Amino acid sequence: MLSFRRDGDLARLDEVLPAVRGQGMNPGMTIEAAVRAVPQGGAARPLKALAERILIIGLDGATFDVLDPLIQAGRMPALGEFLRDGVCGVLHSTKPPITPAAWTTFMTGKGPGRHGIIDFEKYHVATHELTFNSTYEIREKTLWEHLSDKGLKVGSVHVPMTYPPRPVNGFMISGFETPSIDADFTYPPELKREILRRIPDYNYRTNWRRRLLGGLAMLRENLAYIQRSFEQGVELVKLCGEMYGWDVLMIVYKLVDNLQHKTWKYLDPRFNRRYPRQAQMAAECFMRLDENLAKLFEYARRHRATVLIMSDHGHGSLDGKAQPNLLLHAWGYLALRSPLDRASQRAGHWLHRLNKGKASRFEQGSRGIERDLAVDWSRTRACVMHAGIYGFLYLNVRGRGPNGVVDPQDYHALRDEIAERLRGVTATDPAGKEFRVFPEVYKTDELYGCSRADYPDLPDLLLAPRPGLAVIRKIRGRSPVRWCPPGRLEGTHRAEGVLALGGPNVRRGLRIEADIVDIAPTTLAALGLRVPVDMEGRVLGQAFTVAPTVEREPPVKKVAEERAEVYTEDERRLLEKRLSELGYLE
């Protein structure tokens, strides 16, 4: 069996470099020589290519509000130099600005109304059930599929909404929604064994631990875990890039988002002076990120690759939580069961816990919805069924689901009525200033330009709260907004993310604004490939020294697949806990 040497260690070629089997390599050759022998995609590019290869670095939730002060303080020199030498600016997220909707929009070049993903959860109108989204729910072809179809080699590392991993011309390591390392998290499947062999501490835990009186020691332990994930990202890029070769390779650092959710008061200049030691520790975590970005920049230079840095959304303080279901209940659109029924519901929930353990919000049909709200569906016309920064409101239409009461002829009038009332809701912030709680209330078919007949599970209304607020499904207290105590301040999402490009044929010192839907068509055009005509974004030609040639091609529809349930009950519990720790689920 052929073998090669790396750092003095002998490894079997069939385990570490399956992509170069049969290439006639000699025993004992260095991995660098082996990499040069790995064939890239070799695909014909019908148009002039401005990028030979592209390395995409995703910084989940990254914001210039955090990065700029760190760069100015000299704490992120590699990123600072990259931004100065290339193109950068704000990248606007999706509506809602949440991980699954935004990253799927990046991957497809289409908005949520086309690809069908608006949240981690999906409410099935016809069956009155909540499930987790997965790759099977993505209704459009992804960038990885487009590139694979054209013969280019791709690599995807930890991009959200890639579980279960799909077959590609290259490799895929699934993202944040992977339950654990016990799942099949790679394509090809044998890559999993190699990852676990080379990175024994690899896992999918968020690992943000809390302990009474944990103090600085606990914070240091949590941050060390995040820093280790930054190192593992580089290890995976190099390992898999060497094993399979690549034309387009992407790594997402998901824990940048987790870091900001949990340490926002240590990062925000308005508050971090109160916590000097914790602020220093959080800043050092970003310094470790910068060190690993520098390694990726060098890796890209060695492979003559253009580098694209992006985030799926921005970040800011979580000031409070908006409660639209409280309003719907007060206005008579949402009915709750009697106090006796609610007590019985809670007793049933605890009995279930005693017999089966903690109940998942998804098990036994609508158990999670009923557990949180104890809704009387026979008298309910509207309810926010789930929330992900925004609120997802559904009308209880007769004939559409099992409990419908709203006459279909009243649908449009009722939807308009509720939307108008929600837009008019005001509250007073802790500084005494009055504001509108939901400045935007969207009809999803109008927002996304789609038909409800084609996308029946989209919410009827999308409730966008004031920046700094996040919508929740539960009802607590009597105020439409529950303010977060300053001492427990955490972070939440904003629409304004980050974008930066650097490398061959990229302009220097240019500032631009773009939308996340623009990245897929820009990537295709930069590689000298035609852009499907149904991609919604534009090509960012101004980012290059020579404008790329943009030609459109007919769309290729994704073939719907029959699927079994993706997550087991235990896996749903794991994922629910992970999302709840970050505030995505109440």
- What is the pLDDT at residue 227? 97
Average pLDDT estimate for 383-401: 96
**327 CB-side CA count, 13 A:** 24
Residue 365 structure tokens: 């049909």
Q: Domains for the chain: give ranges and CATH numbers.
A: 1-38 (no CATH), 39-318+492-581 (3.40.720.10), 320-336+375-483 (3.30.1360)
CA angle in degrees (0–180, nearest 5) for 256-116-138: 75
Q: Per-residue pLDDT tens for 501-528?
A: 999 999 999 999 999 999 999 999 999 9
pLDDT at 26 over 70: no
What pLDDT sits at residue 561?
74
- pLDDT tens, position by position, 532-558: 999 999 999 999 999 999 999 999 888
**What string of H, E and C letters represents the secondary structure of 504-530?**
CCECCCEEEEEEHHHHHHHHHHHCCCC
Q: Contact at 8 Å (CB) between 579 and 120?
A: yes
DSSP assignment, residue 31?
H
Output the average pLDDT for the chain: 88
Distance of alpha carbon 309 from alpha carbon 57, whole angstroms: 5
Q: Tell me which residue of 390, 517, 462, 524 sits closest to 93, measured CA to CA.
A: 517
Query: What are residue 23's phi and psi, to 5 degrees?
Result: -90, 5
Pairwise CA distance, residues 582 & 255, whole Å: 11
Other beta carbons within 10 Å of 496: 21
Provide CB contacts within 8 A for 58, sequence distance 6+.
Answer: 103, 159, 250, 251, 252, 253, 309, 310, 311, 312
At 344 the pLDDT is 64
Task: Give the pLDDT score at 339.
Answer: 73
Type of residue at 358: K
Using left for φ > 0, alpha for ψ between -120 and 50, and beta otherwise, residue 412 falls in alpha
- Give the pLDDT confidence score for residue 373 in this predicted structure: 82
- Radius of gyration over alpha carbons of the chain, in Å? 24
**CA–CA separation, 312 and 496 (whole Å):** 9
**DSSP states along 339-365:** HHHHHHHHHHHHHHHHHHSSPPTTSTT
* 209 CB-near residues (< 8 Å, 6+ apart): 218, 221, 222
Secondary structure of residue 264 in the 3-state scheme: helix
Which of 264-273, 520-529, 575-584 is least confident?
575-584
3 vs 520 pLDDT, higher one: 520
The predicted model gives 110-127 an average pLDDT of 94
Q: Residue 14 pLDDT more than 80?
A: no
Predicted local confidence at residue 369, as pLDDT? 65
**Lowest model confidence (mean pLDDT) among 36-45, 87-96, 486-495, 505-514:** 36-45
pTM for this entry: 0.90
Quote the CA–CA distance of 396 and 40 in Å, as a whole number: 53
pLDDT score of 84: 97
- Cα 225 from Cα 208, distance rounded (Å): 8
**C-alpha span between 343 and 224 (Å, rounded):** 44
How far is 279 from 544, CA to CA, in rounded Å?
A: 38
pLDDT at 279 over 70: yes
CA distance 456 to 23: 51
Q: What was the pLDDT predicted at 516?
A: 98
Q: Percent of the chain at pLDDT above 90? A: 77
> In which band, very low, low, confident or very high, does the pLDDT at 350 lie, cut at 50, 70 and 90?
low
Using CA atoms, how far apart are residues 387 and 121, in angstroms rounded to an integer?
9
Q: Which residues fall within 8 angstroms of residue 279, CB to CB, at 6 or more apart?
A: 266, 267, 272, 273
Other beta carbons within 10 angstroms of residue 231's beta carbon come to 14
Q: β-strand 390-395 against 461-464: which pairing, if any?
A: antiparallel
Per-position DSSP letters for 276-325, written without gaps between them: HHHHHHHHHHHHHHHHHHHHHHHHHHHTTEEEEEE-SSEEEEE-EEE-HH
Average confidence (pLDDT) over 264-289:
95
Burial class (CB in 10 A: 0-12, 13-18, 19+), 312: buried
Name the one residue in this structure whose structure tokens are 């631990």.
209
**Rounded CA separation 285/538 (Å):** 35
Each residue's pLDDT tens digit, 442-492: 999 999 999 888 889 999 999 999 999 999 999 999 999 999 998 888 999
- Separation between Cα atoms, residue 500 and residue 512, nearest integer Å: 9
How do residues 173-232 score in pLDDT, each as one tens digit?
Answer: 999 999 999 999 999 999 999 999 999 999 998 778 776 556 899 999 999 999 999 999
